Structure 1
């Protein structure tokens, strides 16, 4: 590592940037950021490394996202609740243990129509930050 590596900022505003010698992160207490401030009610903790971004997110019940995409691919692993994801007009319902793949630049939207919050773990590459791009209205 070069000395300047110690001071690099996370690409995602508010995210924790893993520094030299940091190997363990309590995802219940790292930070709290919005997962997609322009298009989604999702919030939680986010840590960025050199090539990967991970986040533990909470999706409030009854609040759908707007249609959006992101230039980096994403994996979503559902821990609690049922997360609905729509791709090309088809809705997929993912429950605990299900993993959703979102290809780079793929337009999609999410919803939590259940009676409790959805908790999920997500991972993206660091070619861009955590946040995506809201579709034009």
Structure 2
């Protein structure tokens, strides 16, 4: 990592900022933040670098994220459970092994199935923090 990384704070409140010389992180032990405090039940760990951030999030069964968008694009990889989403007006059902792509500034929402929590790994660029902007 560059010296530039060492002096910067994370864009997302509560996220871990990777420091110079830090190369290994245990996501379950890093931190615990809300994925979208005013619109989502997703919660978990988030680590930010210079240009990318990663997060391991869970969403309790039957709960979800209200419509929102963010200026950064996002990838969501489903590890456990079923995630029912609407991305840009299109409905998708993501199961373990599925990857969902959300382009920047695209309205999206999602809900964990009623049967089981959803566990997902997500990646975003750091042009904006982890949290999105709730639809009006």
TM-score in terms of structure 2 length: 0.94
Shift of 1:87: 2.5
Matched, 1:64 2:64: yes
Q: Which runs of 5+ in 1 are unaligned?
A: none
Structure 2 alignment gaps of length 5 or more: none
- Partners of 2:125 and 2:51 in 1: how far apart? 6
Equivalent residue number for residue 135 of structure 2: 135
Conserved? CA contact 1:46–1:54, under 8 Å = yes
Structure 2 match to 1:15: 15
Deviation at 1:88, TM superposition (A): 4.2
Q: How does 1:1-137 map to 2 (within 5 A)?
A: 1-2=2-3, 5-136=5-136
3-state SS of the aligned residue for 1:41? coil
1-side partners of 2:41 and 2:80: how far apart?
A: 17
Distance 1:5 1:94, change over 3 A: closer
Greater strand share, structure number: 2
The number of residues matched between the two structures is 135
| Aligned-residue RMSD, C-alpha | 1.2
Post-superposition offset of 1:73: 0.1
CA contact 2:74–2:102 (8 Å) conserved in 1: yes
- Partner of 2:55, secondary structure, is strand
